[in-house]
């Protein structure tokens, strides 16, 4: 698609055009993945973070957050619960927590890998140097999620403190791919100062990086952050960005995100209808979920892992999709 065509779809409010766009995205998805929707078990193992991203509820500067860390034993218990429920992918996500040194992350990945030799292990723990990413990979991690957040330098600088840079974040993503990880990029829709042009740049960056995974969700304001009074992202525009990403990267694994489900009760199902093919129900202990508050009113914080698993399955089936508990690597 040309820039003009992409920009048109980024902003269109025309219901017929949108319907066609989503149908096209579903067709592309079906070509490689049929109606399957893969499950990933999400374990939010720390909400400590040394960074201060302006949008994020667990930023270092938010002194009102009650902080927690899961022990290795707790993490393994979450994995055991996930395994019992049929999950073949564990996503270990957290803030950039200095307590979790490379040695500690290697210890965790090694232990999960030893207990589950055939499962996929996904890390989502932010920016590291090449040596660290290599150690985690050697210990058994297969995938890494690191959203680029916005591919426009000036916009990036309005969402992050000066200590962070888009150039480094991009470099991390290329390094991860180079090491052999299935890498996941992505961005929020509706962050302050975002424009149709910055969204176009996000799509062009995805085309350049060709990540195995793409995470897209609406920006949702978080209390006690600099953006707490800003408007949340528009669901329709978020869905159009999911659809455009699917069309540009036909084989990508694209989650229907929790943030989509938070701004609309059928948001995740609509994400699947716009071309997404992954869901990430929560395996974190109940007490941790409320505290891992990246944004306000996050859903599924009161449910047990088994309830989330069943609830998602029902939602998926009700829209004509088929839950698939296999590992679900990216199509080649
Ligand atoms: N620390 C890791 C990292 O930076 O990649 C993983 C955790 S980070 C909190 C996970 C993602 O949450 C971010 O990439 C961001 O896109 C999303 N996020 C943070 N604050 C958000 C908000 N207010 N609304 C929607 N998504 C948000
Ligand atoms: Fe958690 Fe529905 S996915 S309750």
> By the 8 A CB rule, do 209 and 177 touch?
yes
Q: What is the pLDDT of residues 203-253, one digit of tens each?
A: 999 999 999 999 999 999 999 999 999 999 999 999 999 999 999 999 999
Strand order in the sheet with 89-94: 41-46, 89-94, 120-124, 143-145, 182-189, 213-218
Q: At 70, is the pLDDT very low, low, confident or very high (cuts 50, 70, 90)?
A: very high
Q: What is residue 257's predicted lDDT score, i.e. its pLDDT?
A: 97
**Residue bearing tokens 């996904």:** 122
Q: Count CB-CB contacts under 10 A for residue 51.
A: 17
Whole-angstrom CA distances from 85 to 24, 90, 320 are 33, 12, 22
Distances (CA, A) of 88 to 3, 40, 78, 192, 286: 39, 7, 13, 36, 21
Sheet with 322-324: list strands edge to edge. 278-279, 36-39, 322-324
Cα–Cα distance, 274 to 268 (Å, whole number): 10
Nearest-CA neighbor of 316 among 17, 39, 23, 96? 39
Q: If you take atom 4 of ligand 1, which residue's CA is the nearest one? A: 126
Q: What is the pLDDT of residue 260?
A: 98
**Ligand 1 atom at shortest distance from the alpha carbon of 221:** 23
Protein residues with CB under 6 Å of any ligand 1 atom: 55-56, 93, 95-96, 124-126, 146-147, 149, 188, 217, 219-220, 222, 259, 294-295
- List domains and CATH numbers for the chain: 3-321 (3.20.20.70)
CA of 312 relative to ligand 2 center, distance in Å: 6
Parallel, antiparallel or unpaired: strands 278-279 and 322-324: unpaired
pLDDT at 332 > cutoff 80 = no
> Which ligand lies nearest the alpha carbon of 183?
1
Ligand 2, residue 300: give the atom nearest the CA.
1
What stretch of H or E contains 5? helix 3-11
- pLDDT value for 214: 98
CA of 143 to the centre of ligand 2 (A): 24
Give yes or no for a contact between 241 and 200, defined as CB atoms under 8 angstroms apart: no
Give me ligand 1 centre to Cα 21, in Å: 27
| pLDDT of amino acid 331 | 86
Q: What is the mean pLDDT of residues 9-20?
A: 97
Residue 310: how many CB atoms within 10 A of its CB?
14
Average pLDDT over residues 101-125: 98
User: What is the pLDDT confidence band of residue 120, given thresholds at 50, 70 and 90?
Assistant: very high
Q: Which atom belonging to ligand 1 lies closest to the Cα atom of 55? A: 23
CA distance linking residue 317 with residue 306, whole number of Å: 17
Cβ(256) – ligand 2 distance below 6 Å = no
Distance 31 CA to ligand 1 centre (A): 30
Closest-approaching ligand to the CA atom of 308: 2
Q: Distance between CA 171 and CA 246 in Å, rounded?
A: 23
Within the chain, what is the greatest distance between any pair of CA atoms?
53
Ligand 1 pocket mutation, candidates 40, 49, 56, criterion most atoms within 8 A of CB: 56
**What angle (nearest 5°) sits at the alpha carbon of residue 198, between those of residues 194 and 203?**
125
Q: Does residue 174 contact residue 138 with C-beta atoms inside 8 Å?
A: no
SS3 79: helix
Q: Which atom of ligand 2 is nearest to the CA of 315?
A: 2
Tell me what pLDDT residue 303 has. Answer: 84
Identify the H or E element spanning 37. Answer: strand 36-39
- Helix, strand or coil, per DSSP, at residue 310: helix
Query: For the chain, first and last CA: distance in Å?
Result: 23
Residues sharing a CB contact under 8 Å with residue 97, sequence separation 6 or more, in sequence order: 46, 48, 49, 50, 69, 125
Phi, psi of 90 (to 5 degrees): -110, 130
């Amino acid at each position: 698609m040309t820039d003009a065509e992409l920009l048109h779809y980024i902003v269109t409010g025309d219901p017929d055009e949108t319907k066609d766009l989503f149908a096209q995205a579903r067709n592309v998805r079906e070509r490689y993945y049929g109606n399957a929707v893969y499950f990933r078990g999400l374990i939010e193992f720390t909400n400590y973070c040394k960074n201060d991203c302006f949008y994020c509820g667990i930023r270092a500067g938010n002194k009102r957050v009650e902080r927690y860390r899961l022990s290795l034993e707790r993490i393994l218990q979450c994995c055991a619960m996930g395994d019992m429920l049929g999950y073949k992918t564990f996503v270990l996500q957290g803030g950039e927590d200095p307590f979790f040194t490379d040695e500690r992350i290697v210890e965790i990945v090694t232990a999960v890998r030893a207990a589950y030799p055939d499962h996929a292990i996904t890390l989502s723990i932010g920016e590291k140097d090449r040596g660290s990413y290599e150690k985690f990979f050697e210990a058994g991690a297969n995938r890494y999620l690191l959203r680029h957040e916005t591919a426009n330098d000036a916009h990036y600088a309005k969402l992050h403190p000066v200590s962070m840079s888009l150039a480094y974040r991009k470099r991390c993503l290329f390094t991860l791919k180079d090491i052999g990880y299935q890498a996941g990029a992505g961005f929020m829709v509706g962050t302050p100062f975002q424009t149709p042009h910055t969204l176009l740049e996000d799509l062009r960056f995805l085309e350049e990086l060709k990540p195995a995974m793409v995470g897209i969700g609406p920006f949702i304001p978080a209390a006690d952050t600099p953006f707490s009074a800003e408007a949340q992202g528009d669901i329709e525009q978020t869905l159009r960005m999911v659809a455009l990403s699917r069309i540009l990267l036909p084989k990508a694994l694209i989650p229907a995100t929790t943030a989509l489900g938070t701004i609309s009760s059928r948001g995740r199902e609509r994400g699947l209808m716009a071309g997404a093919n992954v869901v990430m129900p929560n395996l974190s202990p109940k007490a941790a979920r409320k505290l891992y508050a990246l944004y306000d009113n996050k859903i599924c914080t009161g449910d047990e892992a088994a309830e989330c698993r069943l609830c998602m399955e029902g939602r998926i089936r009700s829209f004509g999709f088929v839950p698939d508990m296999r590992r679900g690597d990216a199509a080649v």
